[in-house]
Amino acid sequence: MFLAQVCGTVVADHKLAELQGAIFKVVQPVDEQGRITGPKIVAVDNIYSRHGDLVYLVKGKEAIIPWKKTDMAPFDAAIVGLVDGMELA
């Protein structure tokens, strides 16, 4: 799981049937200081995050676990948490 900043929304009406109802958000992976750590990716949003929110995502097969609409769905990144606060060493 890694930190990311929500920086946009993607709407795609014409998509695979299993992805019906998915909310796509554009997220920018960042580190704890907010520095960019990788290219922007599109992830399925499970927690209705808003623009500019600091969230964290899960990648890979585990991204599908919170997805309750169909038992299997073809996506590999999902927003699973909204960061309220961080305490750094």
Write out the residues near other proteins by the rule CB under 8 A.
1-3, 29, 31-32, 37-38, 46-47, 56, 58-63, 65-66, 78, 80-89
Provide CB contacts within 8 A for 51, sequence distance 6+: 6, 7, 8, 9
Do residues 21 and 70 make contact, with C-beta atoms less than 8 angstroms apart?
Answer: no
Name the residue nearer to other proteins (CB basis): 14 or 21.
21
Name the residue nearer to other proteins (CB basis): 14 or 52.
52
Name the residue nearer to other proteins (CB basis): 12 or 32.
32
